[in-house]
Structure 1
C-alpha cells in the first residue's frame, strides 16, 4: 500500500496539471479560474478586454498559489513530517515553503505593478497601445473598439479557452492563459506554415487536421504569433478575414466532403442558365446568413437538360431568398452522409416552399 504522502503527491500533481491545462472534464465540472471567480471577473460579452485583464491576473495568482496548496495539503497528509511547524520541518521543506511564499509574493507584486495607472502596465494594455493612432489615442480607445466588435454575433471564434482564436471585422485575437495577442487585420498577413493529421479526436469520430497559421504584422510593435485551428474551420476563417492568407508549398489542406461538394455545387451553378431579375423586383439579404444579397433562384431546368421526364423536381415559385453558399450547404445537409457519391444526382426540397429541386435547377441571379 502506498504511503499517504505519495498518494497525495500523485493526486495533487494530476489535479494541478489538469487545473492549469483544463481538459474538457474539468471545464464541464466548472473547475476553472473563469468559473470559480466568475462573480468578480464579470461578463466577457460586456467588456472583453477588461475581462481578459482581470482573468489573466487572477489566473497568475491562482496558479502561483498551487505550490502553497501542495504544502498545506502535505501538512494534513503527512503529519509526521511536522510541516505545520516551520522550525520542526526539514531543511528541504523549509526551502520549498520559502520558495512558494516568494513566488506568491512576486505574483502579488507583479499584479500591483500591472494595476497602476488603471492597468496601463498590464501586458494586454501594452499590446493594445501598439495599435494606438492619432484617431485612436490610447489603449482605452482600442479596447472600446475591440469590445464593440466582440459583441457582434458575426465574429469568428474557435478553440479551447486556453488557446482561443477570435476574428472580428477589424481585429484578430489569440487568447491564451496569461495573455491576449492582438493584430489589426489591415496590418497583417497570414501564412499556413504547418498541418498535422490527428486520427483520434475527442470531438469527432473522423480524422482531424490541425492547421498552424503564422500571423505577422507590418507594425513593428506587434510581435508575430501562431494560431491553430481545424481544417474544417479554414473556409469560415477566410470568409471573415480581409488579410491575405499564403500557404507554404509543403502544406496540404484537406477539405471535408461537404466543402468539396460546395465547391462543385458553386461551379455547376455557374454553368446553369442565369435568372434575369425583373426590373421591379428588389433583392433582399439572404435569409440564411443575412450577410450577402440573395443570389439564387430555383427554376426547373433538369428536364430541358435531357434528364428523365419523371424527375421528382418541381417548379419553385419562391422569389430569390438564398445566397449560393447557404443553398449549397442546405443541399449538402439533406444528403445521406454515408453515400456522398449520390449527392450530385439527388433532389432536395426547397428550404422555403419544399418543392424538390436538383443541382441543375439552381440559377444565379443576373
Structure 2
C-alpha cells in the first residue's frame, strides 16, 4: 500500500511538470484547473503580466500538490506505523527529509531576490529606474500585440520565445531572459538522432551569453530555421562557426569516400539541384559497393539504393554525421557505421557513396 502511494506521488509529479500533449491541447492540466479556480482574467496583449501570472500559478500548484501529498503520506504512515519495522522508519526519515528540502526550495522561490528566474528582477538589470523598467515592459508588450512571436517547443515551461530584441527561455517559475543586442551565441553541439530528416531540420545546442554579463549563460536547443532567425538578431552571430563546422564535416566525408569507385554520367545528362540545400548540384550517389563481410554483428546490412543523384556531398555528409558522428567519436570503425538514404531510407555505409564524374 505504502509503495503504491510513493508511486502515485511520482506519477503526479511528472504529470504536473510534463503533462501529456493531448492534455495540454484540451486544457486538461493541473495548472489549467488552478487557472479556472482562481478565475483571473488577463489582457492577452500584456505578455509580461501573463507569463508572470502563469509562473505564480505554477508555483501555487506545486505548493498545493506537495503539501497535500506529504500530508497524505504522513496520514498513511500514521495508520500503518509499526515501530518494529525498520524499513518503514527509514521510509519516514526519507519522506520528512524530502518534504523539508522541497519546502525550503519552494520557500526560496517565493522569497524576493532568490528566484533566479524572476522576470522582473532580470528586466531590472537593463533599467536604471522604475520608469525605464516600465518602458521595457511596454516595449515588449507592444511588440507582442503587434507581431507574431517566434515560438519553439510544446511544453509551456520549456518554450523558447523570441520577441523583437528579446529572447525568453521559459522555466517552471519564470523565464531566463536575454536582450539580443547584448548577446552572443556559441555553438556547442548538434544532437544526433533527433530528427526524421537531419539534412533539413537539424537541431543545434547553443549557449546564449551576455556580452555585458547581465545574466548567467544558459543553453537552448533550436532547429536550424529558428536558429537562423535568432542568429540575424544577436550582436555576435555564429554563422562563421556553423560554416567552419559544416566544412570540416564535409572535408572529412570527402576524404573517406575519395577511394571509392566513381559514378560516371554523360556530359549531356542533366543533374538536379541538391534536395538539401537547393543550391549545389547533386554530385554524389549511393550505390552498394561493399560486401557482406564489411559488417559488424547486430549492424544492419547495407541495402540497394536505386535513387538518382539528389544530394550534394556537403548535405549527404551532414546526414551521415547526424547518424554516425557520435559512434565514430566513440571509437567505432567508420566502415561499420550505417546511415539511411535521405530519400528511400536504404541503409548505406561509407563504401557505398560515389562521387559523380562526367564521362
TM-score by length of 1: 0.54
* Structural RMSD (CA): 4.2
Gaps of 5+ in 1: 84-88, 266-336, 340-366
Aligned residues: 247
C-alpha separation in 2, matches of 1:123 and 1:143: 14
Mapping for residues 241-280 of structure 1, pairs under 5 Å: 241-246=233-238, 248=241, 251-252=245-246, 260-261=277-278, 263=279
Name the structure 1 match of 2:223.
230
One of 106, 115, 123 as aligned partner of 2:118: 123
Give the deviation of 1:195 after TM superposition.
Answer: 0.9
Name the structure 2 match of 1:45.
44
| Residue 38 to residue 172, structure 1, CA distance change in 2 (3 Å) | same
Give the deviation of 1:5 after TM superposition.
Answer: 2.5
C-alpha separation in 2, matches of 1:91 and 1:10: 17
What secondary structure does 1:151 align onto? helix
What secondary structure does 1:37 align onto? helix
| Residue 178 to residue 97, structure 1, CA distance change in 2 (3 Å) | same
Equivalent residues of 2:117, 2:175 under 8 A apart: no
User: Are positions 1:5 and 2:11 aligned together?
Assistant: no
Give the deviation of 1:101 after TM superposition.
Answer: 7.0
C-alpha separation in 2, matches of 1:212 and 1:174: 13
Equivalent residues of 1:19, 1:32 under 8 A apart: yes
| Residue 7 to residue 338, structure 1, CA distance change in 2 (3 Å) | same
Give the deviation of 1:82 after TM superposition.
Answer: 6.3
| Residue 94 to residue 237, structure 1, CA distance change in 2 (3 Å) | closer
C-alpha separation in 1, matches of 2:229 and 2:92: 53
Give the deviation of 1:13 after TM superposition.
Answer: 0.8
One of 176, 180, 185 as aligned partner of 2:175: 180
Equivalent residues of 1:170, 1:186 under 8 A apart: yes
Deviations 1:172-199 (A, max 9, x none): 2222222322222222222222111125
Name the structure 2 match of 1:155.
149
User: Are positions 1:209 and 2:202 aligned together?
Assistant: yes
C-alpha separation in 1, matches of 2:275 and 2:146: 27
Mapping for residues 133-144 of structure 1, pairs under 5 Å: 133=128, 137-144=131-138
TM-score by length of 2: 0.55
C-alpha separation in 2, matches of 1:214 and 1:110: 25
Deviations 1:187-212 (A, max 9, x none): 2222222111125x6xxx54563211
One of 18, 21, 27 as aligned partner of 2:18: 21
Equivalent residues of 1:194, 1:251 under 8 A apart: no
